C-alpha cells in the first residue's frame, strides 16, 4: 500500500478541479528532515521546538538553538519551515526549573504563558530563531494564545527582539511570517480579532478538541468522548477559517486531525489551505486530494453541517469514503 502511494511523492496535492493544497510535515527532532523530503512534504508545518529542551534535559543556550534551527532550515532549501516556540508545561514536563506542580497542568502554567513570565528564556529562543532565519524560509508560530492581550504582549516582545538584532546588525531574513496556533476555544471564537495581528493561523486540533469538549486528550477512560467530528468542533473550525480568510490570511492545521484520511474531504471543503501531519501520513492524504474536487468537498460540508451528532457525521463520511476509495 505504502509503495503504491509513494507514486504520489513528487506530484502536487491538487484537486481534480485545480485547488492546490499544501501538505507539510510535523517534526520533533532535526533528524526527521530526511523523512520530510522522502514523503514529498511541501515543508514543515510544525517543528515542536520543546523536544530540543526535553531531550537534552537542560536549557540549550542561544548558540545551540541557533545551530539546530539553522541546520533544519538548511536541510530544506526553498521549503517553508514553521518553528513553534517552546510549548512545555501541561503534559510535557521539564525536569528541574519547570517541574512545577500545577493542580491542573493542562489549564496551568504552560507554553506562551510560561514564556511570557520567563522572558529571558523566551528572548533567547527568539534571538536564536531570528538569527537562523538567514539560513532558509522560516515561519515563527506561538502556541496556546488565548486572546488579544496575550497576543499583543507576545508581539511586543518579538518586535523588541527584532529591533535588538537590527541594532547589532545581525543578518536576518527580510520577511518572516509570524503566526499563532488556534488551539484554545476562546482564540477560535475571537479569531476575527486575532487574524488582524498575524500572518497565518495553524489550528491545533489536539488541544482544541480537548478544551472544547472538556476531554483530557490522554485519558483512556474518557477517550470515547474525544470526537473530532463533534458539531461543536466543526463549527469552531468553520469560524476560524472564515475569519482568517475574511482578513486575508491562510489557515493551516497541524493537529492529528489534519492527517486523518476520514477528515480530508471535510477540511478541504471548509477551505483549509495547509495540512500538516506526520510525514508518513502525507501520501494517503495526497491521494485523496488528487482524486476529488473542491466542489464535492464543499457539498459534503453543506450536508454534514446540518447533522446533529458526531456519530451521524462520522458514519456518513465513512460510507462516502468507502464508496469513493
| Residue 217 assigned ligand-binding role | yes
Q: Which of 36, 178, 198, 254 is catalytic?
A: 254
Q: For the chain, percent helix, then strand, then coil, each to nearest 5?
A: 55, 15, 30
Stretch that binds Mg ion, among 121-129, 151-159, 196-204, 317-325 (CB under 5 A): 196-204
H or E stretch covering 7? none
Nearer to ligand PEP, 76 or 209 (CB): 209
* Contact (CB, 8 A) for 13 and 285: yes
User: Rounded distance, CA 245 to CA 254, Å?
Assistant: 18
Nearer to ligand PEP, 124 or 205 (CB): 205
Map residue 80 onto helix, strand or coil: strand
> From the list Mg ion, ligand PEP, none, which binds 43 (C-beta under 5 to 8 Å, kind-based)?
none
> From the list ligand PEP, Mg ion, none, which binds 284 (C-beta under 5 to 8 Å, kind-based)?
none
Q: Shortest distance, CB of residue 36 to ligand PEP, whole angstroms?
A: 16
* Main-chain dihedrals φ then ψ at residue 203, nearest 5 degrees: -85, 125
The mark string for 198-237 relative to Mg ion (x by CB under 5 A, - otherwise) is: ------x--x------------------------------
115 given a catalytic annotation: no
Q: Examine residue 89 and tell whether it contacts Mg ion (CB under 5 A).
A: no
Nearer to ligand PEP, 12 or 30 (CB): 30
User: Rounded distance, CA 148 to CA 216, Å?
Assistant: 25
* Contact (CB, 8 A) for 55 and 41: no
Cell numbers representing residue 68 in the block: 539546530
Catalytic residues: 254
Report the binding-site residues for phosphoenolpyruvate.
48, 84, 206-207, 217
Amino acid at each position: 500500500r505504502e509503495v503504491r502511494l509513494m507514486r504520489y511523492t513528487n506530484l502536487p496535492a491538487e484537486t481534480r478541479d485545480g485547488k492546490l493544497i499544501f501538505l507539510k510535515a510535523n517534526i520533533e527532532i532535526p533528524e526527521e528532515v530526511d523523512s520530510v523530503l522522502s514523503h514529498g512534504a511541501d515543508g514543515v508545518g510544525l517543528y515542536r521546538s520543546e523536544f530540543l529542551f526535553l531531550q537534552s534535559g537542560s536549557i540549550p543556550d542561544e548558540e545551540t538553538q541557533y545551530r539546530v534551527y539553522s541546520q533544519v532550515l538548511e536541510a530544506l532549501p526553498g521549503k517553508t519551515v514553521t518553528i513553534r516556540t517552546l510549548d512545555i508545561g501541561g503534559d510535557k514536563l521539564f525536569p528541574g526549573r519547570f517541574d512545577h506542580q500545577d493542580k491542573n497542568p493542562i489549564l496551568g502554567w504552560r507554553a506562551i504563558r510560561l514564556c511570557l513570565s520567563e522572558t529571558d528564556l523566551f528572548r533567547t529562543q527568539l534571538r536564536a530563531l531570528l538569527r537562523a532565519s538567514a539560513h532558509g524560509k522560516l515561519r515563527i508560530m506561538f502556541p496556546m494564545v488565548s486572546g488579544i492581550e496575550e497576543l499583543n504582549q507576545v508581539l511586543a516582545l518579538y518586535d523588541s527582539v527584532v529591533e535588538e538584532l537590527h541594532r547589532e546588525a545581525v543578518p536576518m531574513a527580510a520577511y518572516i511570517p509570524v503566526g499563532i496556533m488556534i488551539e484554545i476555544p476562546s482564540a477560535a471564537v475571537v479569531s476575527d480579532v486575532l487574524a488582524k495581528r498575524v500572518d497565518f493561523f495553524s489550528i491545533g486540533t489536539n488541544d482544541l478538541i480537548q478544551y472544547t469538549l472538556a476531554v483530557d486528550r490522554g485519558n483512556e477512560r474518557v477517550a470515547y468522548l474525544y470526537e473530532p467530528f463533534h458539531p461543536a468542533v466543526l463549527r469552531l473550525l468553520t469560524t476560524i477559517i472564515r475569519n482568517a480568510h475574511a482578513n486575508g490570511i491562510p489557515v493551516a492545521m497541524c493537529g492529528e486531525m489534519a492527517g486523518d484520511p476520514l477528515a480530508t474531504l471535510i477540511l478541504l471543503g471548509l477551505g483549509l489551505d495547509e495540512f500538516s501531519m506526520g510525514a508518513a501520513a502525507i501520501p494517503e492524504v495526497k491521494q485523496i486530494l488528487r482524486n476529488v474536487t473542491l466542489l464535492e468537498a464543499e457539498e459534503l460540508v453543506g450536508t454534514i453541517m446540518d447533522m446533529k451528532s458526531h456519530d451521524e457525521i462520522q458514519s456518513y463520511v465513512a460510507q462516502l469514503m468507502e464508496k469513493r476509495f
